[in-house]
Structure 1
């Protein structure tokens, strides 16, 4: 009950922050998501700091206000306290505390004090909490949030309203909660800011069911000290589910995404889910043109890769660079041609599949969301990729999902599973398209899988089960014989139902068939005569 109440209270906090933004002309503004997510993060860090220092110094637990008690520390004692903090907690100076801001809210130029505080926190924690661009530039934690209020005379009041909202709330009771709790909070926090209205590089939020199935099918046994990578990470839904399946303390996250907004959200997701140690590996940049993660001169190889890449995107501006000889090994199947028109419909997802294949370790595994058309395409780059997956024995299986599993796109999708150690075959192809319940989400239809249906997919896949009209288990040779089709339906047996009858029953049925045919033939001849007479009666006038 405590968790349910706290979840409701947290959502109320988020809604109240949005209400403040609306009151100051920032509702649905392009910068609203920065204000909401960064203010939320500042509050989370402040309370996480308080929680951590209370574990280090129990006397702070009994103090009426831990911020007042901690101000009695000498500078040396405070420095020692900071050194004892866990590496996933932000280090705060005493003037950074929310309580300190609250006391200063009636001072002149409070907006500047507010912005300076957040900026100083970002600088103080720059080495751990900043993310990098592909060129190595660092993107710090916080922006100057008051600048987004157009009227300078309202900025102090705006910052006061934010601070007064934050002091009435505390995260301290829930820091022992795990992934499932924070994933729900994170989804609610960003639900209005991760949609398909973002222009050229639109972000799509991967449904929880898809992310859960991908992670559970990839991680079917305990592992440790592994690397996890997403070359089109978005806000990190797939990576968070994968890390949770492995264990947040048993894996290191790597990612790259071209969207600055999504990269900032991914950083927040890592902080909420105890994966701060991986923030230095989060890169904002173009994976296809300039992949960042390398070991020496070669691209880094990863143990686990997940991806829900964009399916179509105009990449004509760097198309020529992708055709360079140094990319021939990575893009072995080729690069899509530039069409004369509709460049936005250039298929970019095959480049991500090829990049992922190239980036797996010798025992690496991957799960990739692809348009279902990929699994049966009879020519072109898609066909070449499928042939390579079979010839190099990398294919682990395919799950074809129900229509509208993504509310934001009508494209049917499948999940492609790769396993470089799957050399013996035993490939599972599954048609889960008939599962789920259709519901209305805004103007769109969306298919929701029940918990039982999700588990059915996971169990059938991991047990290598063949289930009538649902899944088949095949060898690489069988797939090659079927023209490299990855569609389960093409391997289902055609069923002919037989019914036992006696000779007398058979004779009766045959006599009925003959009588019916005789009647039909007689009727046909009658119609022929009528038609001929009608034709003879036709005259030209």
Structure 2
């Protein structure tokens, strides 16, 4: 498999993981795969740094490094100074590969390499960031195989998976870190309930990161007290500009040692310098960490704090538990009146993070919904947080976002510098999601709406509310979201007077906002007033629907919308085909989606976030991969590239364009040839239909049952018997045999003709790629990316109109029959019944 894009790399690594881990639990296999991947990175970085130190080409680095015995001390010192570590020549990944090829590799080679690495870093000032990194990778574990040979075989296969990847080169563009993060996420989804130890879903991280970065003026330090894999820290960093991301210092603490190792690997693979990261393996609740380096007796405070602690953790378990050690003299808890309950440490984690938040900083924490309304000690802590004016935002999320729990969670945002009188923004985002298998998933539009509301602090009916302290006090300090944000449901209002006397209520028609905005005159003309406040349709419903769509306002709106769509496409197509190498594609996606949100909305008709999502879907479907290739290889080379396609067993099944599919090239550049193939395909379909008709006729004819077995026609029997029949006979069986034989031959001939024509057209098409001009590539890409875009956008407008037309049709039907009409129908039915009964008596 040729690797050219991030998605290619992700697919290859995860496919390899799925094949190699067999029946091993994903939460265990991740330690081996991610550990071996990271060791390859350390090895490649060692060679890359040696290449720079020795001023030799990178392709010579391995052999020269092996041969540098006479200067080994100087080389090692230089590598420690540059990297903070080095891998010995005999322990290099490349040496492992050679041993595998020579069939001399042993499991002991990995154990020796790790021991040597740990010994070599002892003199490094960054020793803490590398020490014990591979402690959770137990290569003697029976999980890897029942005996030494099995473990050796499985480890060899895993090592070979990364053999051809230059990790040092991949790290330069964040590809390596993103691939690692992708694998962490995949292992998280596969690990189920165990995923909570190390993984926060990407879309939740995105909400927290964008909220943090949009509400904090400057972020130079960030802290996660339950750091997991480090994904929250890295997601926040991704939303900072280059200068601030370079300056950022990362802090985190993690209780689980395997996950602690995962964090450090993740940060290093993302290019975080060792002197910019301080990650500790410890119990956040048991020991207050970190202290200020300059003032050892003072806690360190941070510009941003993010955390996703274990939900409702029992912090009283075990001897000498964190709960038993906790007291109200602890400065983390002393201002809040009580400790968190011993079986629910949610507020203990929150107060720890808040204690380490700088006065100008912002904190975001994921918590179970219960912290908003549970009583007892939690009620007292919640009340004190509110009285101290430290809760800024509450965001209610959909349920089942996490693989380790189905309960709904919230993101709570806290600040220490809120002005007196500032209200608490409460957002109910629980309905904004899409189903993804068993899980719910936030869409890009859902994230954008949450973040926009945080920025504007607008009150949106059914979505957000600004709650004053007085209002919260009146609710007895209960922050349960439904108390503040009423869910908006489309109530099916039944008007009693309308049912009794007939007629659509005028207010029901006025509530059709889209139709009233675009076609009010046509709507008014289609109804007559039958009494004050009630109207009756004067035309058929289908005529009414047609009248609305032919309304001047609807047509004008569609034309204006089409103009806006065309302008948007022109603008963005021009940008997408000219991508500077240093341009962030993620930032470009965000900018394009935001532009659609503003340029392609229609107030009160097309929702701005619907337009946002159409563009986000475009990136998911095509643009993420295509633009990456264009940025790397240029427009023409990308458009001309052809690749060999294989099935899941590795068998070659054909060739196709890497970015431009051959079906699109045929549609645009081989119109006549494609039409010829289409004609042959239609003829083949007709031949197939005629054949199937004869088969069905034969099955229903008892005289022909000898030619069927288990419902299948026996062609050999037909061929044999046909020879023995008198060809001049008018026998019905002979007639069917002849017809069937003719139809069977026509079906086969037609099928062969189609295959021959398709193969010939495919051959022409593949040959054509090499001569595609720049203009042709542009035409084809425009069709691929935006061929359906106009229709998708216009559908948003049509959907808005159709939704209200359906409501209108329901209203007309609902109030067409009055009470007197129903009573008359009832009398008629009763009379009919009496008549029928009388006839029965007489009979």
| TM-score, length basis structure 1 | 0.77
1:382 matched to 2:343? The reply is: no
Query: Is the partner of 1:326 in helix, strand or coil?
Result: coil
1:483 matched to 2:486? The reply is: no
> Alignment partner for residue 230 of structure 2, among 228, 231, 236?
236
Which residue is 1:215 aligned to? Answer: 209
Contact 1:48 1:171 in 2 (8 A): yes
Contact 1:234 1:263 in 2 (8 A): yes
Which residue is 1:303 aligned to? Answer: 303
Q: CA RMSD in A?
A: 4.0
1:350 matched to 2:347? The reply is: yes
> How has the CA–CA distance of structure 1 residues 202 and 434 changed in structure 2, closer, same or farther, with 3 Å as cutoff?
closer
Q: Which has the larger radius of gyration?
A: 2
Q: Name structure 2 gaps, 5 residues minimum.
A: 494-504, 511-528, 536-814, 824-843
Contact 2:129 2:264 in 1 (8 A): yes
Superposed displacement of residue 213, structure 1: 0.7
CA distance in structure 2 between the aligned counterparts of 1:225 and 1:504, rounded to whole angstroms: 65
Superposed displacement of residue 176, structure 1: 2.3
Contact 1:215 1:242 in 2 (8 A): yes
Which residue is 1:459 aligned to? Answer: 452
Contact 1:308 1:370 in 2 (8 A): yes
> How has the CA–CA distance of structure 1 residues 308 and 159 changed in structure 2, closer, same or farther, with 3 Å as cutoff?
closer
Superposed displacement of residue 430, structure 1: 0.9
Superposed displacement of residue 324, structure 1: 3.3
Which residue is 2:777 aligned to? Answer: none
Contact 2:229 2:263 in 1 (8 A): yes
Greater share of helix residues, 1 or 2? Answer: 2
Per-residue CA deviation, residues 258-293 of structure 1 (Å, 9 max, x unaligned), is 212221211121112122426862122221122332
Superposed displacement of residue 183, structure 1: 3.5
CA distance in structure 2 between the aligned counterparts of 1:222 and 1:506, rounded to whole angstroms: 53
Which residue is 2:87 aligned to? Answer: 92
Which residue is 1:12 aligned to? Answer: 12
Per-residue CA deviation, residues 223-245 of structure 1 (Å, 9 max, x unaligned), is 65622111222222212212322
CA distance in structure 2 between the aligned counterparts of 1:492 and 1:152, rounded to whole angstroms: 61
After TM superposition, list the pairs within 5 Å mapping 1:348-497 onto structure 2.
348-377=345-374, 379-424=375-420, 425-440=422-437, 445-492=438-485
After TM superposition, list the pairs within 5 Å mapping 1:48-447 onto structure 2.
48-54=45-51, 59-61=56-58, 63=59, 65-73=60-68, 75-76=70-71, 79=74, 83=78, 90-105=85-100, 106=102, 110-126=106-122, 127=124, 128=126, 130=128, 139-141=132-134, 145-148=138-141, 149-154=145-150, 156-178=152-174, 182-189=177-184, 191-192=186-187, 195-198=191-194, 203=197, 205-220=199-214, 226-246=220-240, 247-277=244-274, 281-295=278-292, 296-316=296-316, 317=318, 318=321, 321-327=324-330, 330=333, 332-337=336-341, 346-377=343-374, 379-424=375-420, 425-440=422-437, 445-447=438-440
Contact 1:88 1:274 in 2 (8 A): no
CA distance in structure 2 between the aligned counterparts of 1:405 and 1:183, rounded to whole angstroms: 21
CA distance in structure 2 between the aligned counterparts of 1:433 and 1:88, rounded to whole angstroms: 46
Superposed displacement of residue 214, structure 1: 0.5
Superposed displacement of residue 16, structure 1: 3.3
Superposed displacement of residue 20, structure 1: 4.5
Superposed displacement of residue 435, structure 1: 0.7
CA distance in structure 2 between the aligned counterparts of 1:144 and 1:123, rounded to whole angstroms: 17
Contact 2:76 2:86 in 1 (8 A): no
Per-residue CA deviation, residues 132-155 of structure 1 (Å, 9 max, x unaligned), is 9xxxxx534456754225523555
Superposed displacement of residue 319, structure 1: 6.0
> How has the CA–CA distance of structure 1 residues 253 and 40 changed in structure 2, closer, same or farther, with 3 Å as cutoff?
same
Per-residue CA deviation, residues 31-87 of structure 1 (Å, 9 max, x unaligned), is 5333212111111222233344445565314x4x42113445574487358637885
CA distance in structure 1 between the aligned counterparts of 2:534 and 2:248, rounded to whole angstroms: 72
Per-residue CA deviation, residues 333-366 of structure 1 (Å, 9 max, x unaligned), is 433556xxxxxxx212121112222222222211
CA distance in structure 2 between the aligned counterparts of 1:418 and 1:351, rounded to whole angstroms: 14
Contact 1:243 1:251 in 2 (8 A): yes
Contact 2:327 2:339 in 1 (8 A): no
CA distance in structure 2 between the aligned counterparts of 1:7 and 1:89, rounded to whole angstroms: 31
CA distance in structure 2 between the aligned counterparts of 1:218 and 1:226, rounded to whole angstroms: 13
CA distance in structure 2 between the aligned counterparts of 1:113 and 1:53, rounded to whole angstroms: 22
Superposed displacement of residue 96, structure 1: 3.1
Query: Is the partner of 1:363 in helix, strand or coil?
Result: strand
> How has the CA–CA distance of structure 1 residues 488 and 306 changed in structure 2, closer, same or farther, with 3 Å as cutoff?
same
Query: Is the partner of 1:402 in helix, strand or coil?
Result: coil
Which residue is 1:528 aligned to? Answer: none
> How has the CA–CA distance of structure 1 residues 152 and 350 changed in structure 2, closer, same or farther, with 3 Å as cutoff?
same
Which residue is 1:536 aligned to? Answer: none
Superposed displacement of residue 485, structure 1: 4.1
CA distance in structure 2 between the aligned counterparts of 1:30 and 1:419, rounded to whole angstroms: 35
| TM-score, length basis structure 2 | 0.51
Which residue is 1:524 aligned to? Answer: none
The number of residue pairs the alignment matches comes to 490
> How has the CA–CA distance of structure 1 residues 455 and 57 changed in structure 2, closer, same or farther, with 3 Å as cutoff?
farther
Contact 2:249 2:276 in 1 (8 A): no
Contact 2:135 2:258 in 1 (8 A): no
CA distance in structure 2 between the aligned counterparts of 1:478 and 1:99, rounded to whole angstroms: 66
1:36 matched to 2:29? The reply is: no
> How has the CA–CA distance of structure 1 residues 361 and 81 changed in structure 2, closer, same or farther, with 3 Å as cutoff?
same
